[in-house]
Structure 1
Amino acid sequence: MTSTPPFRDPAAPGNLIIPRQEWDRAPWNRWTFQYVRDMMPTTQVWRGAGPASPLPVNLQPVDAIPFEVDGQYLTIGSFLEMAYTDGLLVLHRGSIVAERYLNGMASHSQHLSQSVAKSIVGTLAGILIGRGLVDPAALLTYYLPELEATAYRGATVQHVLDMTSGVLFDETYTALDSHMAQLDVASGWKDRWNPEWPSHVWDLILSLKVLECPHGASFRYRSIETDVLAFVLQRATATPLAELVSRELWAPMGAEEDAYFTVDSAGYALGDGGFNATLRDYARFALLHLRGGEVNGRRIVPADWITGTRFGADPTLFGGVYHDTLPAGAYHNQFWIEDTARRAYMARGVFGQLIYIDPEADFAAVILSSWPEFVSTVRTRTALAGVRAIRDALSAK
C-alpha cells in the first residue's frame, strides 16, 4: 500500500491533520469540500473575459416558512441549522430571493459538487449534440473504438447519458472492494492501495468487461457512465473536458468566477464528481435551465434538448427509486426527474448537494452541504420538502 503525507488544515496549523484516505468523509468534509484544490491536482475552468451575467437580488424572508416531513415540523431556519448546510441560494422569477452562507463558506468559496458535476457534463453533451458534433444514437465505439473490448460494446451514447447500459459497475460507496472504491483510486481521490487496480479513469473504463443486463433494459446508477460520456465529448472535439466546459458553458453563461475539476494521474478532469464552483455560479447554471438554455437573449443550450430532458425520460426503465432509495420519477440526460407530472428536475450529489429546477414555478434552489453520510433518505426528503415549501410560499405571493 502506497501512502502520501496526510493533509494539514491550514486553518489550524499543528493542530488538525486530515487523513489522506478520509479527506472526503466526516468530519473532515466540513472543511475539505471548500478547499479541494488545496489537497489534490486540479484544472481550471476559465470563466472567460466577459462580464458576469447579472443576478438581480430581491431578498424575501424565508427562514420562518414552515414545512412538515415524516411527522416532523420544521422551518427553513431550523432546517439550515441542523442540515450540515454550507450554502443555500433560491431563485424566483429571475432574482435571488434568499442567499445563505454557513460553516465558513463565503460568496467566493468554491464548493465540491460531487455528482452535480454529472449534470454539468450532461448539459455540455446537450450543447455538442445540438451542434451536430455528437450523435446520441451512435455507438460508443464510433467515438471510442477501444471500448469494443469492454462490456460497453453495443451501447450507445444515449445509454450512458441515461445510465441504461448493461455494464456491471458496483456503486457501493462504503465497500472497500467495489468499483466505486476503484474509481476513487483511479481518479486520484484516494491512494492506490491495491497494485492491481487501474491507475487512472480511462484504464478503469477499459477494465469493465462484465454485462449484467442488456443495454437499454433498465436504469442502474453508475457514476462511471458520466466519465465514459466525457471521454466521448473529448474525443469528438479533440478538446479536454475542462476547456470544453469553459468554452461552451461556463464562459458563455457569464460565470462570475473560475470553476475547477480534480484531475487523475493522466490529466483527465473527473466528470462524474470532481467539479467545484461558487454558490452563485451554480445558481447561474440553474437560471440557464430555467430560461430554456438562454442567457440575456443568447442561446447556449438547445431548447429542445432541455425540453427533451424534462419530458423524454422513460419511467418504465427507472424502477421508481433514486440510488439512495428515495422515490422518484425518472432519470434522463444526467438529470433526475422529480416526477413525471410536474417535470421539475434536479442535479444531485452525495453528502447533500442539490440543484432543484422547476420551470413551471420559475423557481430554482441550490443547496451545498457536507453531510456526515454519503446518502440519507431522511436528509434528502427533508431538503426536498424544504425546497418545495419555499417554492410554494413564493408562488403564493
Structure 2
Amino acid sequence: MGAARRWMRDTTGGLPATFWYLWTGLLINRAGMFAVLFLSLYLTTARGTSPALAGAVVGAYGGGGAVGVLLGGVLADRWGRRATLLAGHLTAGALMVGLAFARDLAAIAALITLLGVAHSMLSPAFVAAIVDVVPEPRRPYAFNLQFWAFNLGMAVASLLAGLLAEASFVALFLLDAAATLTAALVIAARVPESLPRGASRRRADDGPPDRAVRRPGLVTALTDRNFLVFVGLTFLLAVLTMQTSTIMPLAMRADGLRPSAYGVVVALGGALIVLGQLFVPRLIARYRKAGVLAVATALMGLGFGALALADDLWAYLGAAVVWTAGSMLAAPPNAQINADLAPPELRGRYQAVFYLTFPAASFVAPALGGLSLQHLGDRHWLVVGALGLAAAAGHLLAGPARERRTAALRARLARPAGAPVGSR
C-alpha cells in the first residue's frame, strides 16, 4: 500500500490546481466528442448522401482543422490561453446545436468545416496553458496525464457514440454540445489566464540564442530549423499512427477478417494505454528524450512492419502490442521537446505549427497508403516499418542539436532583464 501511495505521489504530485482543471476540461471535452466519430454514418443514413460525398464532407472537417490549429496558436499568444479555450468551446457547442437541426447538405458541410476549425484551435491553447502553469521538472508527468486523458476520453466517446447513434442523431449532437459547454464552464470558473505578462514583446536587450527567435509571429516557428526537423519527425510518427484507422482496416479485410476483429485490435491498444500509460514517466525518466523517442518510433515501425507477415487476428493483436508500446513511450518526450523548443512569447504559435502534422498525416496516410497497399500488397507494411526506423535514426541524429538549442533558450530566460547577453 505504501509503495502504491508513493507511486501515485510521484505520478500525479507536484502539479498545480490549474493543471487539474485544464485536465478535467480536456477529459470532458474528449469524452463528449462522440459526434465526430459518426459523421460519415450520419450523412449516409440520416441525410442519404453517397459514401463518396460523405467522405468529401467529413474531409472538410480535417481541412478546417488545419486552419484551426494555426488560428488557435495565434489567438493563444494574442488573446490569451483562457480566452482562446473559451472561444473554441463555445463556438464548437453552438455549431453542434446547429448540426442537430440542420437539414440542407450545404449548411451541414459548412457547419462541419467550421467545427473542424473550432475543435482544432483548442489544442495549441491547451498545451500552451499547461506549459505556462506546470513547473518544468513536472511537465513530462503533466503531458503523460494529458495523453492518458485524451485516450480515456476517446474510449468513453467511442462507447457512448455507438449507443447514442442507434437512438437518435439529434441526441448525439445535443449531448456533444452539452459536454463541450460543460468543459467551457470548468475553464471559465477555474482556469485563470496564464499568458505571461509582456510575452508578446521581447526585451530589446535579450540576445536570442539563435536566429530562430529574431522574428516575431508564425514566421519564427516556420523558420526555426531545429523545431522544423522535430516537426518533420513527428509527422512521420503521425503517419505511422494513422495506419490503424486508415490502412489497417483494408489490410484486415483483405486477410478475410471481420470488422469486429478490427474493433478488437483497436480496443486492445486503447486498453493498454489506459492501463499502462501512468507508469511510463518513471520508466523513461533516467533516459535522454532523443533516445526514448528513437526506441519508441523503432517499436512502432517494427510493429507495423510485422503486419507484412500477419494473416490472422492473433498476429494483428501481437503487432498491436508492439506499436502501442511505442506510442506510449513517445507521448511524454514528444510533448516535452515541443514545449522546450518554444520561446515563451510564441508558445501558442509553436504549438500551432506542431499540431499541423496531424491533419497533414490524416491526408497523406490514407492517400498514399491506399496506393501503396494496392500496388505493393503486404510489402506496404515493410515501407511503413522503414519509415519508423528512419524516424528513429533521425531522432538520434537531431537530439544533440535540440539539446543545445534548449539549453541556450533556458539560459536566455534565466538572465535578469537588462543583463548583457554574455552575463551569468
Using structure 2 for the length normalisation, give the TM-score.
Answer: 0.26
Higher helix proportion: 2
Higher strand proportion: 1
Using structure 1 for the length normalisation, give the TM-score.
Answer: 0.27
